[in-house]
């Protein structure tokens, strides 16, 4: 598995278009995604394999805390354990960067994602009523404390 953190200057147009489409699938507008990338705390991690994007994650690292804004695995790679491999690699990188807590939100109906996060130690710490739309549903706030 090859985890790559993409520097702002290294984002090629084809990759940017692909990441924007992924972010929009999480209801992040193109403007919001681009604005997010302009933050000095913004991070983008990918796992690609011979020009095939396997997984990506966008978020922020703010001192000792990381926030995952979207975590995506390509549909053809789902259900094969690749999400777990990718997330473990991210958590290892967070630990190397002195991150102590990792936060994320997930749709209450996304049982596969919730199971993955819980398997790696995330706990549900809060509920956000009607946080998501299309369709409307609650979001779970999950957090992992890195020891």
Q: 115-122 long-range CB contacts below 8 Å, 24 or more apart?
A: 116/83, 116/84, 116/87, 117/87, 117/142, 117/144, 118/142, 119/84, 120/84, 120/87, 120/88, 120/91, 120/144, 121/145
Average pLDDT over every residue of 26-37: 74
Q: Does 98 have pLDDT greater than 90? A: yes
Average pLDDT over every residue of 61-68: 95
Q: Which CATH superfamily is domain 3-145 in?
A: Gcn5-related N-acetyltransferase (GNAT) (3.40.630.30)
Q: Does 118 have pLDDT greater than 60? A: yes
Per the annotation, the verdict on 131 as an active-site residue is no
Catalytic residue among 36, 70, 105, 132: 105
Name the pTM for this structure.
Answer: 0.86
Cβ atoms within 10 Å of 6's Cβ, excluding its own: 19
Surface-to-core class of residue 135, CB atoms within 10 Å of its CB (0-12 exposed, 13-18 middle, 19+ buried): exposed
Confidence (pLDDT) at 137: 94
32 compared with 87, residue with greater pLDDT: 87
- In this prediction, residue 52 has a pLDDT band, given cuts at 50, 70 and 90, of confident
Average pLDDT over every residue of 34-46: 83
Per the annotation, the verdict on 41 as an active-site residue is no
Confidence (pLDDT) at 22: 78
Q: Does 11 have pLDDT greater than 70? A: no
Catalytic residue among 36, 64, 70, 117: 117
């Amino acid at each position: 598995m090859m985890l790559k953190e993409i520097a702002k200057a290294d984002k090629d147009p084809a990759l940017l278009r692909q990441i924007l489409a992924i972010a929009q699938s999480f209801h992040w507008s193109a403007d919001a995604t681009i604005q997010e990338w302009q933050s000095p705390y913004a991070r983008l991690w990918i796992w690609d394999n011979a020009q095939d994007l396997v997984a990506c994650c966008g978020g922020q690292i703010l001192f000792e805390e990381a926030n995952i804004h979207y975590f995506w695995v390509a549909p053809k790679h789902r259900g094969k354990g690749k999400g777990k491999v990718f997330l473990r690699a991210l958590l290892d990188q967070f630990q190397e960067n002195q991150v102590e807590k990792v936060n994320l939100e997930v749709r209450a109906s996304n049982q596969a994602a919730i199971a993955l996060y819980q398997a790696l130690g995330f706990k549900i710490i809060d509920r956000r009523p009607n946080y998501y739309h299309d369709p409307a549903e609650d979001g779970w706030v999950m957090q992992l404390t890195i020891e």
